[in-house]
Structure 1
Amino acid sequence: MSTPEPSPWWAPERHRDRRPFLTARRAITRAARNWFEAQDFAEVETAALQVSPGNEAHLHAFESEAIGPGGERRPLYLRTSPEFAAKKLLAAGEERIFELARVWRNRERGPLHHPEFTMLEWYRAGAPYEQLMADCADLLRLAAETTGARRFEFRGRSVDPYAEPERVTLAEAFAAYAGIDLLATVDAAGATDRKALAAAAKAAGVRVAEDDTWSDVFSRVLVEKVDPRLGEGRATILCEYPTAEAALARPKPADPRVAERFELYACGVELANCFGELTDPAEQRRRFEAEMAEKARVYGERYPIDEDFLAALAQMPQASGAALGFDRLVMLAAGAQHIEQVLWAPVAE
């Protein structure tokens, strides 16, 4: 006997079940806006169509096409993040900005992924990236206070959103959870040693394929050994990523092997990705080209580089920026178990 098709998201009975989560979303949206405005942030609205959707090897975009009055055609992409436009606004002179941005990522769908979702991004000119750690902790507490949640729970994991997040470096996490000396595989200039990391990963019981790059092995150890241990009891700030894994972040002055990048986890869910922003256009170009070469190797395609973005980067002040998956934050604060429970109108399968 065939399984009956689920009712559409707009079916009244299904909408009724989802409505408490959507009501929580409205309240958290309003609270977040008030939080940023109280700190003199300007809410901005940037274009969804971009020359480049981003230049990270494993990020997949939706492609569109602009047709001019004379029929001339050029490719455009739905943004995977508002980052490039936001940094152009920093170059223009804005100092504190935020956006609740609709963004699109292809090849992604599941309990925590949706092809169209909301990214809360904010940028602080002149601020150290540690300020973003405090921002993230504040937003966790704010979401919990707004819904009245005492704890966040997801897939058998529980977090106190009012507790100060723990801070763990990638090197500490790899040593504690996989027995791997991560920085022994990164030289003083940030170059990586694939052979050394592969050997250490195999010893830790992680599968390594012959054609895996250092980055492939790093990602597999992170997913299999580290991620499952993060954000239990209290949120985790996983920081100091190797520079090879932080294409848009500046190197840490005290140790150029690692970058000013951290991710925020709660209940094993990655919530935010935050940077001390790289402002060297030549270095940014080099990193983008390396990422696109890897994309071409793995997927047989590449995205253009936004030359206008690199020009703006040369004028951009020192800044720190954060990208937080707003739908995921709502899920945890409202007690939802699937991202489509907190979306007003999910994309049809």
Structure 2
Amino acid sequence: MTRWWDRSVHLDRRPRLLLRNRIVAAIRAWFADRDFVEVDPAALQVSPGNETHLHAFSTEAVAPDGGRMPLHLHTSPEFALKKLLAAGEPRLFALPHVYRNRERGRLHHPEFTMLEWYRAGEPYRAVIEDGIALVRLAAEEAGRSRLEFRGRTCDPQAEPERIAVAEAFARFAGIDLAATMSAIGEPDADALMRCCRAAGIRVAADDTWSDLFSRVLVEKVEPHLGLKRPTILDRYPVEEAALARRTPDDPRFAERFELYVCGIELANGFGELTDPVEQSRRFSAAMDERQRIYGERYPVDEDFLQALAAMPEASGVALGLDRLVMLAVGAERVEDVIWTPVA
């Protein structure tokens, strides 16, 4: 395998890496022009996050007196940034390296850069508009009028499509998603399993509702998103939106969206949940499921739950910077636009 630091390999990679720098500089300027403050969150955290299927890199801090404390490299800066919202910062963004174990492939890297930003006291639609603007900005900086990936194309300047998850399931898989949930969003795995069988989607006897939801999303829905124009996949079931508040008109769904370009998920955003009791309940449920599947659980950051009580209403987004750059410069893999990939 040719190493990235081989001189000839680096010379081939260098133009795209320099474009990455240009895009990052433009993003920083874009946020500065809108009175956002850039912050630098610590990577070592008490909790790496409490999502069922995210895997952290973990370590241990040893004090001068020999005391030991388990710590984790963050999978997202979310907890730290929301604490800063609670502290009074109204608009902030960060470009930290984040770390996810068990993830490596064309679109995944164990260490990558996440662009995350928040608007306190501003509506959910504002951060959706931010995400679209940043896709357009990256394309402009790279001199591209059209983004392409593996035969799929997207015009970043086109008016984005906005589609609710339930509508997407009906359109692309023939599944009535709302019929597989109770009036308050409790999932019915048997009901979704019957729908999947009818739609010709493979199922296993021990599949949970979330397993089936993810399979339909990946196999039937995502390939249709972000083609010719960006897609905002909106209004996720509350079961799949652990850190988002419920939509005001239907408690089965939450203010969560994902931004797709060329079939690739670029960003994940929320109208943020600020109820510490509800957030604690959701974390406990996720960690119970993690214990069942993987035989482990991550600690809950109690300071984060306390900060939620002081946090204003806010909306926020996490965007995979490497994926955005990859599309903007026409690369095939995220590693092609990372200066020093993990060996």
Question: Could you state the TM-score of these two structures normalised by the residue count of structure 2?
Answer: 0.99
Out of 40, 53, 58, the residue aligned to residue 58 of structure 1 is 53
CA deviation digits over 1:231-286, x for unaligned, max 9? 11011100000000000000001111100000000001110000000000000000
Question: Which amino acid counterpart does residue 94 of structure 1 have in structure 2?
Answer: E
Shift of 1:226: 0.5
Q: How many residues align?
A: 343
Shift of 1:74: 1.2
Aligned mates of 1:186, 1:136 — CA distance in 2: 30
SS of structure 2 residue aligned to 1:76: strand
Q: Which residue of 2 aligns with 1:300?
A: 295
Q: Which residue of 1 aligns with 2:131?
A: 136
1:38 aligns with 2:60: no
Question: Which amino acid counterpart does residue 272 of structure 1 have in structure 2?
Answer: A
Out of 237, 240, 247, the residue aligned to residue 242 of structure 1 is 237
Q: CA RMSD in A?
A: 0.6
1:24 aligns with 2:15: no
SS of structure 2 residue aligned to 1:123: strand
Q: Which runs of 5+ in 2 are unaligned?
A: none
Q: Which runs of 5+ in 1 are unaligned?
A: 1-5
Question: Which amino acid counterpart does residue 199 of structure 1 have in structure 2?
Answer: R
CA deviation digits over 1:193-248, x for unaligned, max 9? 11111100111111111111111111111111101111110111000000000000
1:207 aligns with 2:165: no
Aligned mates of 2:336, 2:170 — CA distance in 1: 37
Aligned mates of 2:30, 2:271 — CA distance in 1: 22
Aligned mates of 1:147, 1:275 — CA distance in 2: 28
Q: Which residue of 2 aligns with 1:189?
A: 184
Shift of 1:164: 1.8
Q: Which residue of 1 aligns with 2:338?
A: 343
Q: Which residue of 1 aligns with 2:153?
A: 158
Instruction: Judge conservation of contact 1:137–1:164 (CA < 8 Å) in 2.
Output: no
SS of structure 2 residue aligned to 1:30: helix
Shift of 1:177: 0.5
Q: Which residue of 1 aligns with 2:119?
A: 124
Aligned mates of 1:32, 1:343 — CA distance in 2: 17
Out of 91, 106, 115, the residue aligned to residue 110 of structure 2 is 115
1:284 aligns with 2:268: no
Q: Which residue of 1 aligns with 2:254?
A: 259
SS of structure 2 residue aligned to 1:238: strand
Percent identity of equivalent pairs = 66
Aligned mates of 2:245, 2:181 — CA distance in 1: 16
Aligned mates of 1:133, 1:280 — CA distance in 2: 22
Aligned mates of 1:203, 1:127 — CA distance in 2: 42
Question: Could you state the TM-score of these two structures normalised by the residue count of structure 1?
Answer: 0.98
Aligned mates of 1:286, 1:98 — CA distance in 2: 28
